[in-house]
Structure 1
Amino acid sequence: MRIEFTKMHGLGNDFVVLDARGANPGQALPAVDATFAAALADRHTGIGCDQLILLEPSDLGDFRMRIFNADGSEVEACGNATRAVGLLHGAAARIETLGGLVIATPTGGGISVEMGKPSFDWNAIPLAYAMDTHAMPVAWEELVNPIAVNVGNPHVIFFVEDPHAIDMARLGPLIETDPLFPDRVNVNVAAVTARDAITLRVWERGAGLTRACGTGACATAIGAMKRGLVDRRVTVTLPGGPLAIEWREDGGIVMTGPATESFRGSFDPAHYGLAI
């Protein structure tokens, strides 16, 4: 039996989406685990993606979204994937994730996602021990005094003069796996270019350098706002393109940007050593 999938992306951050919500009653899925996710994500021997997305029924929302990085690790949140799933669903939806409920709504400018409220508590990031998360007294070579925030998943943000001058391929994994971050961390390097504009590069936990990271854009914008560097509405430009981020007065984060369906297909799980 072949399994249907949808290939999608948000600003080049790409996903394989499997729909197990019951819309395809004749389609059964094998148990989705780290091995299965990594096999499908492999760009040489699988379908290829940054994240595998699994949609399931939910008692808390309209449906549940599970997110597996390319290395097979399951994570709490993915802003770009939420926009992609919102596009696939085609209507406003309350989506259950490991990071909490998020709301995706199609708009004239793409998909808007209500990401919830950020947390700056050191044990919510989490960090290995207590410290000031607004100006962390730590450094990795030229990357110093970051701000840490959890926006459904953990981020550390460094503000620099030129994000493109930072060797993220080397420093990204070094910081991601530092013992200071027991659950690992997403690494952001950003430059504030105006009161309403930020340039950003992201090393994504479990996926590596990415063309876009929706939660990274949210975390970086919130970090810049917390430090008074920008206003409460900004455009964050990543290598894949721009995202609009707003931090509302009620504390909620709203991210707006595009999502695209690339193609649809099917695969035989037996090709990956899997059986239904």
Structure 2
Amino acid sequence: MTALADRPFIKMNGLGNEIVVLDLRDAPIAVPPAEARALARPEVLPFDQIMALYPPRVAGTEAFVRIINADGSEAGACGNGTRCIALYEAGRIGRNHVLFESIAGLLDCVVTPEGVTADIGRPRFGWAEIPLAEEFADTRAIELQIGPIDAPVLHSPSVVNVGNPHAIFWVENVEAHDLGRFGPLLENHPIFPERANISLAQVVSPGHIVLKVWERGAGLTKACGSAACAAAVSGARTGRTGRKVRVTLPGGDLFIDWRESDDHILMTGPAEFEFDGKLTPAMLGEPAASGAA
């Protein structure tokens, strides 16, 4: 019997970032990586992340959240998923201010008619915090490139950890590069011992970035909230943008404010329900019983 069989699920999305919410607080159980991969099959319930809710460990929080990628690996942060569980929990308990705990820290969220704002916390810039496999004194631009040494296709990304590691390559046009081709190579580059989310960022103005993302453990995605935060912070840190930025992803816009008073990143954007249901053994990869011979 599959571990998650008969558990209810809620299918949601944030800007097209496909999210499955599993509320496991009443009967906590780990999400087996093999079952996550089986569930993510295109013909079953394709998703980018599972947001699994467990009993709170910190007083005042609604739940402890584990984030599972489509490949079964665990992520430290998912901005779009955070907005989804905030909307779910706010509706469940009838309160617009909700607080979660994750392995990356506390996630403070406010739900309004205009959208959901999530406090993602402070970014980390130290090479060992990201982490990188070797020391770089300045992580605003590290030595990493794709293509010939004298004419690289992509080079000198900004790197940052916003709950998970991100590398942002600054380009003149995000559509001029095949991120589906380069993404897997860069995600798994030896410089990133925990792999990394890879973004192409095009600065339109000091207040606007266009972004395409190869998400660690999920691949090309319509939207990645943590990547939007990473790009906005890195844009401000390198002098390309201000601290308040509109980030346009294939799925739509997110608004990022790298708050000067405490360096916390505030992300605002939509979240929506799609449908709900109950997981079955067949969805989770258990073969159907064969009929009698």
TM-score range, shorter chain: over 0.9
**Kindly, what percent of the aligned residue pairs are identical?**
47
Superposed CA deviations along residues 55-105 of structure 1, whole A, max 9, x for unmatched, are: 111122221111111100011010000000000011322111111111111
Q: TM-score scaled by structure 2?
A: 0.88
Determine the structure 1 residue equivalent to 2:195: 184
Determine the structure 1 residue equivalent to 2:42: 43
| Residues in 1 aligned to 2:29 and 2:103: alpha-carbon distance in whole angstroms | 21
| Residues in 1 aligned to 2:72 and 2:66: alpha-carbon distance in whole angstroms | 12
| Residues in 1 aligned to 2:283 and 2:191: alpha-carbon distance in whole angstroms | 39
1:29 offset after TM fit, Å? 6.5
Contact conserved, 2:49 with 2:67, CA < 8 A, in 1? yes
| Residues in 2 aligned to 1:125 and 1:184: alpha-carbon distance in whole angstroms | 10
Determine the structure 2 residue equivalent to 1:87: 87
Determine the structure 1 residue equivalent to 2:266: 254
Matching of residue 155 in structure 1 with residue 155 in structure 2: no
Determine the structure 2 residue equivalent to 1:25: none
User: Where do 1:98-113 residues align within 5 Å?
Assistant: 98-113=103-118
The residue type paired with residue 263 of structure 1 is F
Q: Using a 3 Å threshold, how does the CA distance of structure 1 residues 96 and 87 change in structure 2: closer, same or farther?
A: same
Matching of residue 267 in structure 1 with residue 279 in structure 2: yes
| Residues in 1 aligned to 2:45 and 2:241: alpha-carbon distance in whole angstroms | 40
What is the aligned residue count?
Answer: 268
Choose which of 11, 29, 33 in structure 2 pairs with 1:7.
11
The residue type paired with residue 62 of structure 1 is E
Matching of residue 203 in structure 1 with residue 198 in structure 2: no
Structure 1, unaligned runs of 5 or more: 23-27
For residue 237 of structure 1, give the secondary structure of its aligned residue in structure 2.
Answer: strand
Q: Using a 3 Å threshold, how does the CA distance of structure 1 residues 191 and 269 change in structure 2: closer, same or farther?
A: same
Determine the structure 1 residue equivalent to 2:142: 136
The residue type paired with residue 17 of structure 1 is V
| Residues in 1 aligned to 2:235 and 2:186: alpha-carbon distance in whole angstroms | 20
| Residues in 1 aligned to 2:63 and 2:129: alpha-carbon distance in whole angstroms | 25
Matching of residue 55 in structure 1 with residue 67 in structure 2: no
The residue type paired with residue 117 of structure 2 is S
User: Which of the pair has more CA radius of gyration?
Assistant: 2
Q: TM-score scaled by structure 1?
A: 0.93
Q: CA RMSD in A?
A: 1.4
Choose which of 244, 265, 272 in structure 1 pairs with 2:255.
244
Contact conserved, 1:67 with 1:76, CA < 8 A, in 2? yes
Greater displacement, 49-58 / 178-187: 49-58
1:133 offset after TM fit, Å? 0.9
Contact conserved, 2:38 with 2:285, CA < 8 A, in 1? no
Contact conserved, 1:41 with 1:51, CA < 8 A, in 2? no
1:269 offset after TM fit, Å? 3.1
1:3 offset after TM fit, Å? 2.0
| Residues in 2 aligned to 1:248 and 1:164: alpha-carbon distance in whole angstroms | 30
1:30 offset after TM fit, Å? 5.4
